[in-house]
Structure 1
Amino acid sequence: MDFSALYKQYDGMAAPAYTLKVGKAELQIGDDVKLLRAVCELTCRQNAGYLLVEAVMNPNGTNGSAWLDAFQIGAVGSFSLGYGSRKKAIFCGILYEVHWDEPLSQGPLGLEAVFLDVRGQLMHSACADAGSTRTLSQMIETILEQDCCKKLAASREIDKLPTDWDLPVQRSGLSDYEQLCRAASFLCYEFYAYADTLYFGPPRPVSSPVLTSSDTTGLIQLRRRNTLEHQCAAVAVSGADDQGKRIYVRHARSREHGFGCKQIRSALTNDLHQPEPTVRTMSQAQYLAKARMEQRQRQTAGLIGICLGAPELRPGRFIKVSGFSQAVNGTYYVYTVRHTLDAGGYKTDWEAEK
């Protein structure tokens, strides 16, 4: 959908609306409760998404009392955003931390609460079998059996992991979330892509742009980003086979085209060497080196945008930009989205890479 069409559909995006549910209660605002700010950040990077809620209330009021009862640690919260009666669910997670600012005089009670999404729940899940040994597929199967993943996993088909990667993973007391991240890194982010498919939809490249922007309608800021951060001339991965013989693979940066590419190549002279004790075959090392180099190279150029609130915009989606300069026009992979609702209205910040 084109952003200008979305702008018209929501009547100029002038009347933002939300629904906040905590536990089994749909919380209301009124004379005794005022929502100051809600910030929801979702990302495809290896960290948890969150929802931050700030409010003030009279705990003796009807709505204030409901808020006070609902915000209990571990409670499940959901958040929907949109305009008028048309709202989309953008977040579901657990209440991780809550602060109450006690009034020192005749003032309202202040609330600041943080919810974490599915990956945050994994981050804080207990490791029941620390010290035992399991294969990657067994570990991932166990993670998907957790309550926070069951609903998501029930509607999706998760491909089996290649048997070449089905190696033991030592359990040394790490949480399941840390193990998930290690497995994701070992699998070249493929399992993380599976998790993102459950949460956000199909990962790259099996997707078409969820949003297109061909003019400045609804755009507040558009910033083009070029960086050498995390860049290198090549990625090298090493390991050892079952006989102890060293395995070493180097994958060089692919040729780039466009303004400044010659300068980028001349500035990058160092290799990034990543020893991997879990790598046992040459094919594994080649696989990791190639994909990790490609993943880093995609981060060289990107867009950072701020627009009027767009609940349709999610991480793991593509956005197509046209009608601007040649350097900006193109299709970008959105990896982080931040929805902010406050006194200034509803805005969406997003970060994307080529």
Structure 2
Amino acid sequence: MLKIDTHAHYLPRDWPDLARKFGDDRFPVIHHTDDGRHRIYKDGKFFREIWSKTWDPQERIDDYARFGVQVQVISTVPVMFSYWAKPHHALELHQALNDHMAETCRSHPRHYAGIGTVPLQSPRLAVQELERCMDQLGLQGVQIGSHVNDWNLDAPELFEFFQAASDLGAAVLVHPWDMMGAASMPKYWLPWLVGMPAEQSRAACCLVFGGVLERLPKLKICMAHGGGSFPYTIGRIEHGFNMRPDLVATDNPRNPREYLGRMYFDSWVADPRALQYLLDTCGVSRVMLGTDYPFPLGEQEPGAGIASLALPEADQSRLYHGTALEWLGLPLARFA
């Protein structure tokens, strides 16, 4: 059975050193050491170590083959968003990442599809780069952050971007980043354990309550990490909507639960019981395989969560590739 991982992070081995070019250490840079280690630095400090499977196309194909997964939908690592930067400076980085991603997809069309990245701090430039991704580079959409500086995803400034994505039929992956409350919880990896799920719920609530999904019913939004805490607290969210519409339903009078059927969700929730709840709550047709490869917080055996549920073959087919193809707007024959 064809299996498509819709949440697989990818970087070039090297990218422009904009920290040096623009004199701003906030830009991430990569250092390759003599002992074979590869480390990302940001703000002049160590951020993360990565490995050759972050950028080596064949190594990734071989790694995935061990688990019977044939296709990766590659997207950048959120630290690269750089929404805080001057728009044209960030655009230079985004274009380099998108060009590299497109080349990988062209070289390995049976194993890769791609969703690019755009400088959302300038919606005008973001639309231009989205159009380039779709029309010139042959990518299937873009990945965006759960917020953009002081803008949540319901910000009026961002609507032109979402409208363009809808018009183009672009797949949009919302990924948590720049986690809320990080400064107040520096220990225990809490920004990743607590902040990430909260970021996704914030993003989903803003898309719902702000009327973005209501105004753009064809917008193809996928919430990474199984939607974070959004699907699992929809009862509380709905209750708030019902009890205090004066506070919650100010911009959209429709019940938030209805939008579970308008979003897509990846399957990486780290617990088979949580995945079963996601399927029961949102529907098999809205969920697709996603792993957060190749990072430690992701699914270490791609597809294992879905396999653990012993679902009917038709449901497995939908989760492994059917929903993904619908979201990406691609035919099954693309990967035959």
The structure in which a higher percent of residues are helix is 2
TM-score, normalization: structure 1? 0.31
| Max Rg structure | 1
TM-score, normalization: structure 2? 0.32
